[in-house]
């Protein structure tokens, strides 16, 4: 998780002669008489240690760049919030700059993936080692637009790099001080109207099925409007859309500005199609090539949540096509769209493929929210299912188990039921079925996956797989005791799979091998299970990635410090520690926190981590129900 600065960095916050020990935020800034913020950070000399033929650079209490093939170097993030409509300028200066000549190269972070356990970890220098230095400067920053801690605002995310690796000269230059000066100006945008809170977009033929759901939401004080796709496409905003997905996105933008909505639920999944998929509700595929050889794009509902960006001092529509070539969310070699990625609305999807499936899910949600589930004994249980995700002999950590242990730490008041391969409590699918059938408020898988199944390994045994697949879901018997399910693994929420994919004869082997012939993916199937399963799920639509070992040598397992492990754990931190209880808000805030704290526009794997992390469920769901 994000680490706390204990020593080596001291922050002094100076604004108009007033000292503050708090992080700069909207409520602080709007009371200032001066339009500038100054903050000074002090750094100690880097700690350099030998690790085989490489060197590891450390800084007390700092995060580390852990990007495949890049030098592992410490950095610190600082986050500020400003009212939407503010113009922001960032300047910095440094203190003394010193140079340390080193006799070996700085260690690169290894290459790996969660796609297959059999893919060995490679300590390999990436293309960056042919450059002069990394990073380029002592300070880097991004200005983002989105909802952050419940407020629609601008987020200034500053990355401080006190230690720079001069690759050609094989030396470390470092500064003992960075002075940050932020100037801001402009008037906050007018207050939003709040005609509606919740927008539901549905196929026209399903509008009647959603009338009861709408009444239920309004009975809980959530002002709700249900709109059919024909109305979306006929709206004046649709003229700006280049395809159906962009028309939906423009309609959401209009709904924010005209009605003040904060929640959006997209209703509908895939309905057949062979060479051209047919969708009941539009989707957006990214065009990010993660160089895995597995996929060059994947589904991303974050596209429908990320409505705005900060551009040239103003708020603009975020079309995910910054280079204007018509290829959305592009990242392949030098071709890369610059994306905001912070949600502006809380988006979830009911990826139902029929009215019957929709009826099942709606009835589960209404029943769940109509009672105080949080006050019942079964709800105070959290089932975690994990093992040794990457069973390497040199790695002392059982990654999945470490990640779920960390998640449990944040869930105060919950009894943790640990199904672990290392203890023998996870040895077969029945262990999972029995635990879930007894009821639990939360369910967390951390391991490997595909659209049909989830599995993991016993310690140091990559040939043995233990898990569960969708054909076993009918055995779940936890009626009216439904958990929120967070799934760590590849493709478990890849909701574009279809049995019709078997008709792609030329791709039959690939379709079968990748389990893309399932009538539904793991994440949607567990939600639509009658009288059992989950109330909602969160998981990856593409390859899931995780960190292993302790390559930055800070004594903390890397698996909880970035990528899928970090964001899954962050969901439970926000619920357990910050006491947030609305599902979509927790999901979106975890994404926003990741975007603000990690180099999502420098590393395509960090970018993919947030793009693919999809909520299949009601974003307004009150976790634990209403009292």
Pick the CATH number of 368-616 from 3.40.50.1460, 1.10.600.10, 3.30.1330.60, 3.30.420.40: 3.40.50.1460
Stretch(es) of the chain classified as CATH 3.40.50.1460: 368-616
What is the pLDDT, as a whole number, of residue 513? 84
Residue 26 has pLDDT above 60, yes or no: no
Give percent above pLDDT 70 in the chain: 92
Alpha-carbon span 530 to 518, nearest angstrom = 18
Q: How large is the average pLDDT for residues 437-456?
A: 98
Structure tokens at 478: 């936890």
Q: Which two tokens stand for residue 21?
A: 């020990």
CB burial class (10 A; 0-12, 13-18, 19+) of residue 191? exposed
Distance, in Å, from the CA atom of 91 to the CA atom of 405, rounded to the nearest integer, reads 41
CA distance 203 to 280: 6
- Say which residues have a Cβ less than 8 Å from residue 377's Cβ, sequence separation at least 6: none
Residue that is written with structure tokens 């000074």 in the block: 40
How deeply is 483 buried, as exposed, middle or buried, from its count of CB atoms within 10 A (0-12, 13-18, 19+)? buried
Q: How confident is residue 124, by pLDDT bands cut at 50, 70 and 90?
A: confident
Separation between Cα atoms, residue 267 and residue 281, nearest integer Å: 6
Tell me where in the chain the CATH 2.60.40.3800 domain(s) lie: 10-123+134-185
Instruction: State phi, psi for 118 to the nearest 5 degrees.
Output: -70, -10
pLDDT > 90: percent of the chain: 84
- CA distance linking residue 618 with residue 263, whole number of Å: 9
DSSP character string of 243-275:
SHHHHHHHHHHHHHHHH---EEEEE--B---SS
Instruction: Name the DSSP letter for residue 71.
Output: B
- Is the torsion defined by CA of 11, 16, 17, 22 positive or negative? negative
Greater confidence (410 vs 116) lies with 410
pLDDT digits (tens, 9 = 90+) for 34-74: 589 999 999 999 999 999 999 999 988 899 999 989 999 99
Q: Are 532 and 525 in contact (CB under 8 A)?
A: no
Is the domain spanning 198-336 CATH 3.40.50? The answer is yes
What is the pLDDT of the chain when averaged over all its residues? 91
Say yes or no to pLDDT of 584 above 70.
Answer: yes
So what's the pLDDT on residue 120?
Answer: 61
- Strand pairing class (448-450; 442-446): unpaired
Contact 5, 76 (CB under 8 A): yes
- What's the whole-number mean pLDDT along residues 153-164? 97
Per-residue model confidence (pLDDT) at position 34: 58
Q: What is the enclosing helix (H) or strand (E) of 488?
A: strand 484-488
CA dihedral 67, 71, 74, 80 (to 10 degrees): -50
pLDDT (average), residues 377-395: 94
Asked whether residue 2 carries a pLDDT value surpassing 60, the answer given is no
Please provide the DSSP assignment of 139-205 as one string: EEEEEEEEEETTEEEEEEEEEE--EEEETTTTEEEEESEEEEEEEEE-PPPPPPP-S-SEEEEE-GG
Contact by Cβ (8 Å): 113, 545: yes
| CATH annotation of 10-123+134-185 | 2.60.40.3800
Q: How far apart are CA 624 and CA 618, in angstroms?
A: 13
Q: Residues for the chain: how many in total? A: 627
**What's the rounded Cα separation, in Å, for the pair 287 and 327?**
7
DSSP annotation of 553:
-
For the segment 367-371, the average pLDDT, to the nearest whole number, is 97
For residue 474, count other CB atoms closer than 10 A to its CB: 13
84: pLDDT strictly greater than 50 = yes
Q: Which of 186-190, 405-409, 441-445 has the lowest mean pLDDT?
A: 186-190
Q: What is the DSSP string of 219-252?
A: HTT--EEEEEHHHHHHSGGGGG-SSHHHHHHHHH
Q: How many CB atoms lie within 10 A of CB 541?
A: 30
* Residue 122 confidence (pLDDT) above 90: no
Q: What is the DSSP letter of 55?
A: E
* Gap between the Cα atoms of 542 and 524, Å rounded: 14
> What integer is the mean pLDDT of 294-299?
96
3-state secondary structure (DSSP) of residue 291: coil
Band of residue 9 on the pLDDT scale cut at 50, 70, 90: very low
Tokens 């659209």, located at residue? 451
DSSP string across 588-621: HHHHHHHHHHS-TTT-HHHHHHHHSEEEES-TT-
pLDDT class of 110 with cuts at 50, 70, 90: confident
CB 138 within 8 A of CB 162: yes
């Amino acid at each position: 998780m994000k680490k706390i600065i204990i020593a080596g960095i001291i922050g002094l916050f100076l604004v108009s002669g007033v000292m503050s020990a708090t992080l700069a935020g909207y409520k602080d800034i709007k009371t200032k008489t001066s339009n500038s913020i100054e903050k000074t950070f002090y750094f100690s000399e880097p700690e350099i240690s030998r690790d085989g033929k490489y060197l590891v650079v450390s800084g007390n209490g700092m995060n580390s760049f852990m990007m495949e093939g890049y030098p592992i170097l410490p950095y610190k993030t600082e986050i500020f919030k400003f009212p939407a409509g503010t113009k922001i300028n960032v300047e910095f200066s440094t203190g003394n700059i010193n140079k340390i000549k080193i006799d070996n190269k700085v260690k690169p972070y290894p290459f790996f993936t969660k796609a297959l356990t059999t893919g060995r970890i490679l300590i390999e220098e990436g293309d960056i080692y042919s450059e002069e230095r990394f990073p380029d400067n002592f300070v880097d920053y991004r200005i983002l637009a989105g909802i952050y801690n419940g407020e629609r605002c601008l987020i200034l995310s500053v990355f401080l790099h006190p230690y720079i690796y001069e690759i050609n000269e094989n030396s470390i230059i470092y500064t003992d001080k960075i002075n940050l000066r932020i100037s801001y100006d402009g008037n906050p945008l007018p207050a939003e109207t709040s005609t509606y809170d919740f927008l539901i977009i549905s196929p026209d033929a399903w509008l009647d099925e959603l009338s009861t759901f709408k009444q239920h939401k309004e009975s809980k004080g959530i002002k709700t409007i249900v709109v059919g796709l024909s109305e979306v496409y006929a709206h004046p905003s649709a003229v700006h859309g280049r395809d159906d997905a962009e028309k939906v996105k423009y309609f959401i933008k209009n709904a924010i500005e005209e009605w003040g909505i904060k929640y959006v639920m997209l209703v509908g999944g895939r309905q057949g199609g062979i060479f051209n998929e047919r969708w009941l509700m539009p989707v957006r595929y990214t065009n990010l090539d993660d160089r895995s050889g597995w996929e060059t794009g994947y589904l991303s509902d974050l596209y429908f949540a990320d409505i705005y960006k900060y551009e040239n001092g103003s708020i603009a529509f975020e079309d995910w096509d910054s280079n204007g070539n018509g290829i959305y969310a592009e990242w392949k070699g030098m071709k890369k769209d610059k994306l905001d990625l912070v949600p502006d609305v809380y988006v979830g999807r009911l990826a139902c493929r029929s009215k019957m499936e929709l009826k099942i899910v709606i009835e589960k949600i209404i029943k769940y929210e109509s009672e105080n589930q949080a006050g019942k004994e079964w709800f105070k249980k959290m089932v975690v299912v994990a093992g040794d995700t990457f069973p390497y002999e040199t790695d002392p950590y059982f990654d999945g188990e470490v990640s779920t242990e960390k998640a449990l730490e944040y869930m105060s008041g919950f009894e943790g039921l640990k199904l672990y391969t290392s203890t023998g409590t996870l040895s077969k699918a029945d262990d999972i079925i029995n635990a879930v059938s007894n009821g639990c408020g939360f369910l967390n898988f951390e391991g490997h996956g595909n659209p049909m199944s989830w599995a993991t390994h016993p310690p140091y045994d990559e040939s043995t797989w233990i898990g569960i697949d969708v054909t076993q879901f009918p055995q779940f018997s936890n009626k009216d005791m439904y958990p929120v399910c967070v799934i760590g693994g590849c493709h478990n929420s890849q909701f574009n799979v279809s049995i019709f994919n078997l008709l792609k004869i030329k791709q039959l082997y690939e379709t079968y091998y990748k389990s893309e012939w399932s009538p539904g993916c793991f994440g949607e199937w567990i939600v639509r299970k009658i009288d059992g399963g989950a109330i909602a799920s969160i998981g990856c639509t593409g390859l899931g990635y995780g960190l292993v070992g302790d390559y930055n040598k800070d004594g903390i397992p890397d698996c909880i410090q970035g990528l899928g492990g970090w964001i899954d754990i962050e969901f439970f931190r926000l619920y357990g520690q910050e006491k947030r209880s609305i599902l979509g808000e927790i999901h979106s805030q975890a994404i926003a926190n990741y975007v603000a704290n990690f180099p999502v526009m420098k590393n395509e794997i960090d970018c993919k981590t947030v793009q693919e992390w999809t909520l299949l469920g009601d974003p307004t769901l009150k976790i634990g129900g209403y009292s």
